[in-house]
Chain A
Amino acid sequence: MPSSTERTRAHRAPQRPGDRVFAGLSTGAGVLILVVLAGVAAFLLTEAWPALVAPAEDIPGGEGVAIYIWPLLFGTLLSAFLALLIAAPLAVAIALFITHYAPRRIAQALGYLIDLLAAVPSIIYGLWGIAVLAPLSVEPSEWLAENLGFIPLFAGPATSTGRTMLVAVIVLAVMILPITSAVVREAFRQTPRLHEEASLALGATRWEMIRMAVLPFGRSSIIGASMLGLGRALGETMAVAIVLSVSGGVTFNLISSGNPKTIAANIALDFPESTGIAVNTLIASGLVLFAVTLLVNMAARAVINRRREFSGAN
């Protein structure tokens, strides 16, 4: 248990010892988290520092840290955002279906199955992507390259093995789906029944009830859950490392065999054989990922705060 840091505040009710201890403990836990995070940040900074100040030619690739990390960053953002774009609507649909559409018994079983899937280790998603999804994607990729080739995303040339960004994105989406939908589901389930019944009593159809009672109530949870999913997609290591054929630079092309690397996967791929400044460079890329997460969360927080009036607590 963390040591208590007392924080006395003016309370209208008299302060009892139990309250003080409890408040102290919970504050302490919060502070401990900050300490741990500071520790992680300090670790990243000290380890990344040699790479940040090293002359450009010492960095792998020979052109400096920024040039080394930029394609990685691009790949990370591209894959994570596309994955979220696919996963978020589906997660909401799953949550809605389980809480408001499916018959109760089936809903419970389904909820259970989905929780379970959150636990499948990421390498398994990776192996599944390679063994099942990649071969399936070859034909559609060729079709996309032929018919929609004018869109940069599908410029081709189409892959012959299916280890493309498209597959990686789908694998990531499938991977973050369970955890995202589980959080959204719990929030939907907590919608005050009175709100729902009131809107139904006023003659709303089910969809109108959902739109006016359930969705506004769950909005902050949807954003929170999406961030959770995005965080997981940004930091996913093994699945991407296994699935993606990483040999291209910065490209939006989703269906060729030359794809940008992602930061986390690159760390996993290169860390074991790296020594010296290369390790520092990898950790510097980890620092960048950390910073990206920071920015993404800031943005999400801003969105949630602007819509605070809809949030669940009051």
Chain B
Amino acid sequence: MPTTTSRDQGPDLHTPLNAAPLTHGQLPRRAPQSVFLAALVAGIALLLSGWNVAAAAIVAGFGYAVVVYAWSRAVEGPRKATDRLVTAVVTGAFLLALIPLISVVFTVISKGAPRFDDQFFTYSMRGVVGEGGGAYHAIMGTLIITGLAALISVPIGLLTAIYLVEYGRGKLARAITFFVDVMTGIPSIVAGLFAYALFALIFGPGVRMGIMGAVALSVLMIPVVVRSTEEMLKIVPNELREAAYALAVPKWRTIVKVVLPTALAGIATGVTLAVARVIGETAPLLVTVGITSSDNFNPFDGRMATLPVFSYYQYVTPGVPPDPALNRAWTAALTLIIIVMVLNLAARLISRLFAPKTRG
């Protein structure tokens, strides 16, 4: 529809300036909203006339995008129209992506709520058959093991990222970057088997310890910490570093006092993501930490319970009748999400408190 001049053609120097309008037409301020309302009404009408929800939503969404684009193109020109179309597409994609995610959360909350009670958080499964019982032992186990994994991986990951961004040149740096990426692809169960094989070499076969789980999780966690920290350090503007060097600040102090604080918000998010990535891992804990129904808070001695493994076994071998166990499984999952939520809040608080003000 080449009725209007495209901006790619460059300025048209031959037309006198006063021939081109200085202002474009503009859609009325409420235009997108009213089109949206119309689309909504149309969608509901389709729904009522017997279409299923998905089809009605798709048709309404497409209708909205097409109408807004055409209208805007007619009144405002192609650039504005494209902009509005992209806005519609991005928002639409966002909403589309949100549906399954919200559905997951809703499922977990609604199925986890029935057993979200005192007993769940104060009891272990020792001596419990059927109804009742709790996951206190598993909650503690998850916190201890994940905490240890973080304690191992965060320093290593952070330092590696610093090396890659600030120091690393040449073959070693390239090798590390590359193999960190490879490490993200280690299947979680392989990490578990590796940790098991490592400890079995030292302590003999059949060994089960919390720390083994922490090591296995670290193998999975380190690359995530490195990758996200590296990305964050990379986008710290070089001007900041150069300014510090120009003031004769040693490199390490520049890193510690300038680079890290600038990237802190991102790093905190990255670390939280990394924790989130491993806290729900089931397979590696299955083969390294095992399961117990009693309290064990010593990560250097024997089997420990963890929430994901607890949840898994409650689901897989529920007993008769299965419902109490299935409820416990869902509540354990819900608890896991809440723990991550708290961690997330803490990370946000930390980055809010310590990071220098840049952009929200």
Which residues of A are at the interface with B, using a C-beta cutoff of 8 A? 1-2, 7, 9, 13, 16, 18-19, 21-23, 25-34, 36-37, 39-40, 43-44, 47, 89-91, 93-94, 96-98, 101, 104, 108, 112-125, 127-128, 131-133, 140, 170, 174, 177-179, 181-183, 186-187, 189-190, 192-193, 205-208, 210, 217, 221, 224, 227-228, 230-232, 234-235, 237-238, 263-264, 267-268, 271, 283, 286, 289-290, 292-294, 296-298, 300-301, 311-314
Contact status of A93 and B97, CB under 8 A, knowing A40-B219, A101-B91, A297-B181? yes
Whether the Cβ atoms of A290 and B185 lie closer than 8 Å is yes
Contact status of A90 and B93, CB under 8 A, knowing A43-B194, A182-B273? yes
Whether the Cβ atoms of B252 and A313 lie closer than 8 Å is no
In the complex, what's the smallest C-beta–C-beta distance from A247 to chain B, in angstroms?
Answer: 20
Whole-angstrom CA separation of A297 from B155 in the bound complex: 24
The listed residue (A26, A230, A298) touching B163 by CB distance below 8 A is: A26
Shortest Cβ distance from B222 into A: residue? A33
B103 at the interface (CB under 8 A from A): yes
Q: Which residues 243-299 of B sit at the A interface, judged by CB distance below 8 A? A: 245, 250-253, 255-256, 266, 269-270, 272-273, 275-277, 279-283
Q: Which residues 137-164 of B sit at the A interface, judged by CB distance below 8 A? A: 155-160, 162-164
Whether the Cβ atoms of B156 and A33 lie closer than 8 Å is yes
B217 at the interface (CB under 8 A from A): no
Report chain B residues within 8 Å CB of A227.
181, 184
Report chain A residues within 8 Å CB of B336.
119-121
Q: Mark B300-316, 1 if CB is under 8 A from A, else 0.
A: 00000001100110010
Whether the Cβ atoms of B190 and A124 lie closer than 8 Å is no
Whether the Cβ atoms of B219 and A179 lie closer than 8 Å is no
Contact status of A115 and B269, CB under 8 A, knowing A47-B197, A205-B83? yes
Q: A33-B160, A283-B193 are in contact. List 6 more A-B contacts (CB 8 A).
A: A30-B164, A43-B194, A101-B87, A120-B336, A186-B269, A293-B184
B179 at the interface (CB under 8 A from A): yes
Provide the main secondary structure of the chain B interface. Answer: helix
Report chain A residues within 8 Å CB of B281.
121-122
Report chain B residues within 8 Å CB of A98.
94
Whether the Cβ atoms of A193 and B359 lie closer than 8 Å is yes
Whole-angstrom CA separation of A1 from B152 in the bound complex: 9
Report chain A residues within 8 Å CB of B312.
123, 238
Which of B172, B183, B266 neighbours the largest number of chain A CB atoms within 10 Å of its CB?
Answer: B183
The listed residue (A37, A97, A231) touching B179 by CB distance below 8 A is: A37
Could you tell me how many residues of chain B have their Cβ less than 8 Å away from some Cβ of chain A?
A: 105
Whether the Cβ atoms of A116 and B337 lie closer than 8 Å is yes
Which residues of B are at the interface with A, using a C-beta cutoff of 8 A? 54, 79-80, 82-83, 86-87, 89-91, 93-94, 96-97, 100-101, 103-105, 107-108, 155-160, 162-169, 172-173, 175-191, 193-194, 197-198, 219, 222-224, 226-228, 231-232, 234-235, 237-238, 245, 250-253, 255-256, 266, 269-270, 272-273, 275-277, 279-283, 307-308, 311-312, 315, 333, 336-337, 340-341, 344, 348, 359-360
In the complex, what's the smallest C-beta–C-beta distance from B333 to chain A, in angstroms?
Answer: 5
Contact status of A119 and B337, CB under 8 A, knowing A93-B94, A205-B82, A311-B234? yes
Whole-angstrom CA separation of A16 from B256 in the bound complex: 15
Which of A1, A115, A140 neighbours the largest number of chain B CB atoms within 10 Å of its CB?
Answer: A115
Report chain B residues within 8 Å CB of A174.
100-101, 104
The listed residue (B91, B108, B185, B227) touching A120 by CB distance below 8 A is: B108
Whole-angstrom CA separation of A283 from B158 in the bound complex: 31
Whether the Cβ atoms of A117 and B104 lie closer than 8 Å is yes
Whether the Cβ atoms of A296 and B87 lie closer than 8 Å is no
Whether the Cβ atoms of A121 and B227 lie closer than 8 Å is no
